[in-house]
Structure 1
């Protein structure tokens, strides 16, 4: 990163101020986003920027120096950050989910303890919770749990202060979440993230070797038994809507970058029989921008509707019903598929409105498409369409799983 950041001192006090702060951060990230993507270096400075700006504390309690904001604001902040850099939009989005993990599954006492310390110390969260891998195996050693295993993806953990672990207690079907310090000998982050897009998310594999956690810190467990709630299953809709919003931010960044290029560098086409003075007067260019912007606005509106459903659930977390949770998940599935389709279309068609010279590596328009294409493979979008189809046709809601 090459741009000097503002000397932030005050914590924003309302949503508009937080969104303004996010736009400031996004503008800093955008100045060298292409160069940083090409370099693929560990984003330590970028995470420090998120800390210095206070954005990591957005969901933290106000009495501990946090923003005290809700998920609607968090999703909008994610979108703004992703406009400047899609990888960092993903990192802040995952951070918010893992910061909220205690709210989802922990006891009230555990929630209070984690959120106070994480907010005051401006922790950045990562997670080793890839469900497609075999779970980490947990064994008991007196009053401690011992985690061992490997996860092939661990987004953000290498640049995190705290890592969320999830595993299964040996000989049982008990899944146990715990928050541990990332910097310890038993957690080994491998430098093996080498994918097409989202290159700065540090999503490589991690080895967990004899990481010890007191039973008292097993999230949501009382006397070694889990206290279940419907709300505990909201982690998947929450993070799927995180995905949706950084896809939309990336798409907006692509469209904005392309528009600047078109205004400043694209030349009108001289062989169509209707020579224009500027590319911005070309009918086909105006038509394409109008089409893409309309589709993006529509996808953003659906994402906002899904966020409102999540917010309604958060307002009565202890009494949410399976039907409420399921209908929110359907809206999230609909918003995600629209964001993917729109984002990929924007990322591809921007070349049509910028011209051949815009394919130069120095312009970096390819970054946006690569980022959405890479992360949108996280889970098959066809299954999201089918979830919406079952609801539309049969009135069925998805059963909670690791992906629904």
Structure 2
């Protein structure tokens, strides 16, 4: 399978002339280059709401889609702490594209989550060499997709109301339940095929370029050999299989914080150049206004604090990811509690910053052409994914009773 997605923005550097990043600082610098390209026309692209083919091509050409891939196949060989920081950088330029990259990296990694050693090696080699872009049709709030056993193959049939990445993906991760059982099955399939219909019905107020519309599966055929983690139609579970939730929640945290950083940086640039001081305040420049200085200091301190917590939680999970067969239920549960804590704080701080920037940019900053509201719309849209109160409850119960969260689709 090869990619058919083209159209890198003309403002992007020619990444083919640049050396492949090898270290975390080099990958972060690559992400900053991508952020700069995206930020240049983010407001206009948000208004247009067009399918982000060019933006995905940018992620591919820059190499960011192979960040977690094996070095021997041309990948970055990086780990999750770096990936989360890269997602933050990209989201600071465009929240939608930060989400797309985050979900892509999650589904790229999903082979390690549930696959056999042979499947992991095959998927990571092919995905890295061919720079596949991953989407996913895995929404637990919908009815389960029905999987039927048809001998050497299985078929997926059903509908999901969300499928982030949809039309811009090369491959899509499917999940469903084997008919007559409670057995869940994951598989990676080509996105472009007659049995998959992506519906152009994503029309939400924020994250407008994430291609998160609904999808219909009409008997998508998959070999049993490609059913993730199965041998002779039997799946052997391990605790590591449940790391999908804390990992994706940290992906969420990453693009929430990235969007907040983008809002704060863009607001600061506007304040320096355009915001006028209050006519009765006695200041000649907005940057000398005491309330403006105070709010920027407050927002920045809060953002720095949550970024530091997010980085710490990501580092704490490294032993789990490095020794997946050794992770215990206790270690998994304690990690989920820490993730819940940072998810709660990131949600609150990102919402506060993205709505509060108008206090320091002034009335004229509400002009539709600037679309400063996109930062709040983006955060507000995705933070409704699951109620943050339940994240705080996980932390509170752990503190009071040492209760660990039960692994579910949301904890």
Aligning the two structures, in what range does the TM-score lie when normalised by the shorter sequence? over 0.9
Q: Structure 2: which 5+ residue stretches go unaligned?
A: 1-7
* Mapped partners of 1:308, 1:54: distance in 2: 23
Query: What corresponds to 2:128 in structure 1?
Result: 119
Query: What corresponds to 1:367 in structure 2?
Result: 374
Give the counterpart of 1:11 among 17, 20, 28: 20
RMSD over equivalenced CA pairs, Å? 0.9
Asked if 1:109 is matched to 2:109, the reply is no
Give the counterpart of 2:365 among 358, 363, 388: 358
What is the CA distance between 1:357 and its match in structure 2?
0.3
Query: What corresponds to 1:182 in structure 2?
Result: 191
Asked if 1:317 is matched to 2:324, the reply is yes
Query: What corresponds to 2:141 in structure 1?
Result: 132
Query: What corresponds to 2:403 in structure 1?
Result: 396
SS in 2 for 1:209: strand
* Mapped partners of 1:287, 1:11: distance in 2: 41
Counting matched residue pairs gives: 402
What is the CA distance between 1:258 and its match in structure 2?
0.4
| Post-superposition CA distance 1:197-246 (Å, at most 9, x none) | 00000000000011100011110011111011100100000000000010
Summarize the alignment of residues 3-402 of structure 1 with structure 2, pairs less than 5 Å apart: 3-9=10-16, 10-272=19-281, 275-402=282-409
Q: Is the 8 Å Cα contact of residues 221 and 227 (structure 1) preserved in structure 2?
A: yes
Classify 1:2/1:159 alpha carbon distance in 2 versus 1 (closer, same or farther; 3 Å). closer
SS in 1 for 2:158: strand
Q: Is the 8 Å Cα contact of residues 15 and 61 (structure 2) preserved in structure 1?
A: yes
| Post-superposition CA distance 1:326-345 (Å, at most 9, x none) | 11111111111111100110
What is the CA distance between 1:140 and its match in structure 2?
1.3
Q: TM-score, normalised by structure 1?
A: 0.98
* Mapped partners of 1:70, 1:168: distance in 2: 31
* Mapped partners of 1:64, 1:347: distance in 2: 40
What is the CA distance between 1:312 and its match in structure 2?
2.2
| Post-superposition CA distance 1:83-126 (Å, at most 9, x none) | 00000000000000000011000100010011000000000000
* Mapped partners of 2:141, 2:326: distance in 1: 30
Q: Is the 8 Å Cα contact of residues 337 and 395 (structure 2) preserved in structure 1?
A: yes
* Mapped partners of 1:270, 1:133: distance in 2: 54
What is the CA distance between 1:135 and its match in structure 2?
1.0
What is the CA distance between 1:305 and its match in structure 2?
1.5
* Mapped partners of 1:70, 1:344: distance in 2: 28
* Mapped partners of 1:24, 1:315: distance in 2: 29
What is the CA distance between 1:8 and its match in structure 2?
1.0
Q: Is the 8 Å Cα contact of residues 3 and 31 (structure 1) preserved in structure 2?
A: no
* Mapped partners of 1:361, 1:388: distance in 2: 40
What is the CA distance between 1:6 and its match in structure 2?
0.8
SS in 1 for 2:219: strand
| Post-superposition CA distance 1:119-169 (Å, at most 9, x none) | 000000000000000111011111000110000000012210010000001
* Mapped partners of 2:98, 2:211: distance in 1: 13
What is the CA distance between 1:3 and its match in structure 2?
4.4
